[in-house]
Structure 1
Amino acid sequence: MRIRGIAGWGGAVLFPVALAWSQVAGSGSEPYYSPSQAIAAMLSMSLLIGVLRRRPLLALVMMLLGCVFVVAFAGPGYQSGRSPFLPFLAVDLAVAFIVATRASRVSTVAVVLSLVVQVLAIAGFSSGQDLLTNVEIAVLAIATAFMAGRLLRERREHAAALRSRAVADAVTAERLRIARELHDMVAHTIGIVALQAGAAKRVIDTQPARAREALGEVETASRDTLSGLRRMLGALRLAESEAAPLHDLPGLADLDRLAEATTAAGVRVDVRRRGEPRPLPPEVDLSAFRIIQEAVTNVVRHADTRSCEVSIDYQDEDLTIDVADGGRGHGAAPGTGYGLVGMRERVALLHGDFTAGPRPEGGFRVTARLPLPTGVT
């Protein structure tokens, strides 16, 4: 950074020397002011790029003074068509840069200052038809520079807004993902713990062995959930923007353990598989397990039944999940819970289909179809 500063201000120091040399060295080659002198003046103004980035108005003032020097050096007798006002194009480029990168107040000062100096310089060193033509060119050049700068500024601001929105959407999506994981993990365990604790309380005096077994199930479920929470909190502590690794989270391979724990809590879970079970993409595997877990949890908490049936159908392009029970239904009033909402969100993220509602014959059914990526066999 210090080297850049030295180079930038060094260019500002060399600028007047280079500008004067470009005019004096070329003054004797032709009897009139030549385009080569104007081009040399523009090139010498490139030495002010470092100052333009740090002190834009100071660099602009130095450019304007340099252009006035060029016009004064050419004098009022330059030949028509050999305009000394060409170096003002460098000023117009600087104005476009200032408008594109600086605040409106600084941009306004730059535009007005540049326009006034150019018009005064043209009025002092040209006359007749050349005066009107040169003023018109100057005004059009400033207007073009202003519009180009505004366009670049708006595009930059729009790109920044899109990036900010993308970051906000990513944060929201990650927050919802964490909320779904916490809900699905904790809700199931709380349901199992509540059932087992209630059973232990009822039989602790008459059947102490059964009570100890129920409390053992409570301990196991609690430890499993605590382990899952620790893994999730560990992932959240990582100083990375990526989501928690999916390979550490449960999948359909853990379904039998889920069924055993729920059956031990008093609600039998019959698991039926159709098709050929095979490895699934991590996001599909996790979502399928969580959907079944939440559906079974709803059966435990709301259905008032002793059993439910879980069907998994492995097809070529889809994985279909169906959880049905014969209880009294657990379609709670809208807005009273997040279970169905979380399941629907999981399915939507995978571009699948989801339905949930009472069965005509009684009970409740949850069905989800999860598309499988091409190549999963």
Structure 2
Amino acid sequence: MITAWRRFADHHPRLVEAAFLLLVYAASGWQYAEDAHGWWPGALPATAACLALLWRRRRPAMAAACVSACVVAAGGLGYPLDHLMLVPLIVAFYELGVRVPERIARVHGLAAIATFAVAAQLTMDDDEAQKLATFAPAFWIIVAVVSGAAVRGRRAYLDAVHARAEYAERTREEEARHRVAEERVRIARELHDVVAHHMALANAQAGTAAHLLRTRPEQAARILDELTSTTASALRELQATVGLLRRSDDPQDPLEPSPGLARLDDLVSDFGSAGLRATITVDGERRPLSPGVDLAAFRIVQEALTNVAKHAGADTADVTLTYKADTLTLTISDDGGTVPRPPAPGGGFGLIGMRERAQSAGGRLRAGRRPGGGFAVTADLPIHP
């Protein structure tokens, strides 16, 4: 029923407004008809007050002032200010409380109360009549202003809620795209590290085996066996990385643990079979790392050694792990060798990936040529026990 009336009011606003003002005029004008002073003297201020209500939404302060003046005039003509006669005043100040800030509504309300008090003192001799003409309008003005301010606050709250809901709806799709892009970058980085490392090892092992096949066939056979192990390890890591895309309710076996610095010796051994001898130096006491930092440290060392194997002419590399109070510093360096290797096709994303790895773990990475020759990669990662 209420919904039907609201729908009718939305579709016929002028008709509803006219009916409302006629109802207010009938309620207030009825009191003038029953008064001993007659209906006509009081009909003029009552009509003016109801007409002033037409501007209560566009000019609420002006409408409240006009209605107050009309009610004061009716009191000056000798009509008692009872609650029905004050209906236009209540409507005007309620709309004032809804339309303007609460501080301004209070100022207008206090000004109207003071006007009624002064008018009662000047036009009435009876104390009871003076009290009625002062406190009755004051009471209803206060009630109307407070009620209007409450409705104004409620509407502001609902508008804010609707605005937040609309903003969330607008940004939901954008946020989803942003998260998908971040996940794609993370998986692409992981795939790059795995593929680049193992393919560089496989390429180096295959080249070394081909070079030694005629002169040292036994060593070439051993390198080819290690090549099989390298490709099998690549397949396992690719399977584990792609397994990140599986659903959480997938009934297959769980993924193997992420690699960390505990596998650094195996990593160095793999590069040794490809002809790159890497030495590990630990400075300070080893400290436990969070899984994210441990994975980032391993991948940075892995990618740096892969770059040495692919792009540098060096046969040796140094890996230094420096443990400080709250920082792990990784340094991977080479001397450049005697015969630089030709650059690999394509710029690659090795350095970019390493920087992203360090930043994702809360650290930073520096890379550049050494003054005495060669290249060095240094990463500072936070230690989280």
CA distance in structure 1 between the aligned counterparts of 2:265 and 2:16, rounded to whole angstroms: 83
CA contact (8 A) 2:243 2:255 kept: no
Equivalent pair of 1:122/1:134 in contact (CA under 8 Å): no
Distance in 2, Cα, partners of 1:169 & 1:322? 33
* Alignment correspondent of 1:344: 355
The reply to whether residue 61 of structure 1 matches residue 72 of structure 2 is: no
* 2:262 pairs with 1:253: yes
**Is this contact kept in 1: 2:285–2:323, CA < 8 A?**
yes
Structure 1: segments with no counterpart, 5+ residues: 1-14, 16-44, 49-57, 65-109
Aligned to 1:226: 235
> Kindly tell me: are residues 153 and 177 of structure 1, through their superposed partners in 2, closer, same or farther at Cα, counting changes over 3 Å?
same
Secondary structure, aligned partner of 1:336 = coil
Give CA-to-partner distance per residue, 1:209-250, whole Å, 9 cap, x none: 22221211111111111111111222211248xxxx997110
Tell me, yes or no, if the aligned pair for 1:122 and 1:131 is still in contact at 8 Å. Answer: no
**In structure 2, distance between residues paired with 1:330 and 1:321:** 25
Which residue does the alignment assign to 2:334? 325
User: Once the 2 structures are TM-superposed, how far is the Cα of residue 310 of structure 1 from its aligned partner?
Assistant: 0.3
Q: Distance in 2 between matches of 1:368 and 1:194?
A: 27
Q: Superposition pairs for residues 1-377 of structure 1, below 5 Å?
A: 15=1, 45=2, 48=3, 60-61=6-7, 64=9, 110=10, 113=11, 115-127=13-25, 128-137=47-56, 151-239=160-248, 248-327=257-336, 336-373=347-384, 376=385
> Which amino acid in 2 is paired with 1:131?
C
Report deviation, 1:327. Answer: 0.8
Report the alpha carbon displacement of residue 174 of structure 1 after superposing the two structures with TM.
1.7
Kindly tell me: are residues 60 and 339 of structure 1, through their superposed partners in 2, closer, same or farther at Cα, counting changes over 3 Å?
Answer: same
Say if 1:246 and 1:283, in contact at 8 Å, map to a contact too: no
Q: Which amino acid aligns with 2:180?
A: V
SS of match in other structure, 1:248: coil
TM-score, length of structure 1 as denominator length: 0.63
The structural deviation recorded for 1:167 is 3.1
How many pairs align? 267
User: Is the partner of 2:348 in helix, strand or coil?
Assistant: coil
Query: Structure 2 stretches of 5 or more lacking a match?
Result: 26-46, 61-94, 100-151
Looking at structure 1, the residues matched to 13 and 49 of structure 2 have their Cα atoms a distance apart, in angstroms, of 17
Give the secondary structure class of the aligned counterpart of 1:278.
Answer: coil
Query: 258-267 vs 201-210, which deviates more?
Result: 201-210
Query: Residues 269-319 of structure 1, C-alpha deviation per residue, up to 9 Å, x if partnerless?
Result: 101111111321000000000000000000000011110000011122001
Q: CA RMSD in A?
A: 3.0
Q: Which moved more, 1:225-234 or 1:364-373?
A: 225-234
Whole-angstrom CA distance in 2 between matches of 1:265 and 1:202: 12
Q: Structure 1 residues 59 and 236, CA, compared in 2 at 3 Å: closer, same or farther? A: farther
- Specify whether residues 237 and 322 from structure 1 end up closer, same or farther in structure 2 by C-alpha distance, changes over 3 A only: same
Q: TM-score, normalising length from structure 2?
A: 0.62
- Do the aligned partners of 1:313 and 1:321 also contact (CA within 8 Å) in 2? yes
